[in-house]
Amino acid sequence: MRPMCSLVLLTFLLLLKTGAAYAQSTEGYKDFVLTGKNVLLLTKTGQLKLIDVASGEPGISIDTDAPIVALSADRQGNIVIGETNHLVKSYDEKQKTWHLVSRYSGKLTGLVFNSQNQCFLITDKGIVDVAGNAIYFPDAAFSKNTEIRYKGSWFLPPVCFMDRQDNLWLGFNQGEWGGDVFVFDTRKRVFSPLKMDSLEMTMNPVSGFCEDPQNVYMSGGIAHLFRRHGSIARFTNGVATSVLQAEDRETEIETISKDPKTGKKQKGMLIGWRGGHQIGPSAYNPVNKCLYFYSQNGFFKGKSGTDLSSIKQWNNILKPALTWTGGSPYAAGPAMNVLKMQFTADGTLLFLTEHEGLGIYEGKKLRFVR
């Protein structure tokens, strides 16, 4: 997928219907964090909102000194934020006060904690070890995308995920130029090599990570021009294997036209592209041991450990009517409208949408916190 469209074609594609409405909005949420029975929501304007999962009702109000750019919770359940004033703070719920964790420079995009409750910041300059006051950035040998060259910084914010082995996964979505993935061992403070012969990262943007007891999964996809492509990969001890490739294929499409002279209708055939999935984030449900992902066709479920190489082996469990944004910064197609997915301990699915707010799917009941 390479840049090749004219202004006329681009305009047409942005207006192309996908079965849902298009919208452009600065309202809504950009991240959420699950802490026990509560969900912390970060608004697009940098405000913090606390929601009770069971009731969907707002909790206590927590004020900050400056807009928030990154949100997390440490391993003890404390709220941790990064503000526009270049301060990282932790919230003392008993005292109702903020305490300084560290300062940062550059552009902060993520906050994560490993099992030892050690804090790591994700910035455009690399991974910052708060305790050791060191910055780590991978050399070119760790990049899996031949189309992208980094020169001491990342120019796009990554998707972050800390696995149970304290490995920090960073996934990048470069749109029509594919994606990239890096793994940082937070115990040894080194980047880990990955064997990815089965994946072509120039065709695989990254939207999310999740893990089951044995493996880490990476999901992502793209809609570019007239094509859709999505994939899920499994990593076992640093070796990647393909779980699902869901891309458009050439398909005969029946057409009906009217003869301008006689007015008679005529049937014809043309070749189009159909069947692909623009895959977004994914999640693992420990209650039923199933993998889930979202695409333009809704939410799909597949049993972990089974053959899931065909989309027919996945069950379409939910297809909510969500608003899509017309136009993506990195490809001539709609941007992914589900930003993040996560399961609670009891198997309730939480998913963050770009326009409809936080979705809460429990059993067969769906509700939104807007």
CA 304 to CA 152: how far, in whole Å? 38
**pLDDT tier at 5, thresholds 50, 70, 90:** very low
Task: Determine the average pLDDT of the residues in 330-334.
Answer: 88
Percent of the chain with pLDDT over 70: 89
CA 197 to CA 159: how far, in whole Å? 22
Name the nearest CA neighbour of 100 among 109, 88, 108. Answer: 88
Specify the higher pLDDT residue, 100 or 198.
100
Please give the pLDDT value at position 332: 86
**pLDDT tier at 217, thresholds 50, 70, 90:** very high
What is the spatial order of strands in the sheet that 227-236 belongs to? 208-211, 216-224, 227-236, 239-247
What's the pTM value of the predicted model, to 2 decimals? Answer: 0.88
Task: Determine the average pLDDT of the residues in 261-287.
Answer: 81
Please give the pLDDT value at position 251: 52
**Are 168 and 113 in contact, with CB atoms under 8 Å apart?**
no
Least confident stretch, 52-61, 221-230, 252-261, 329-338: 252-261
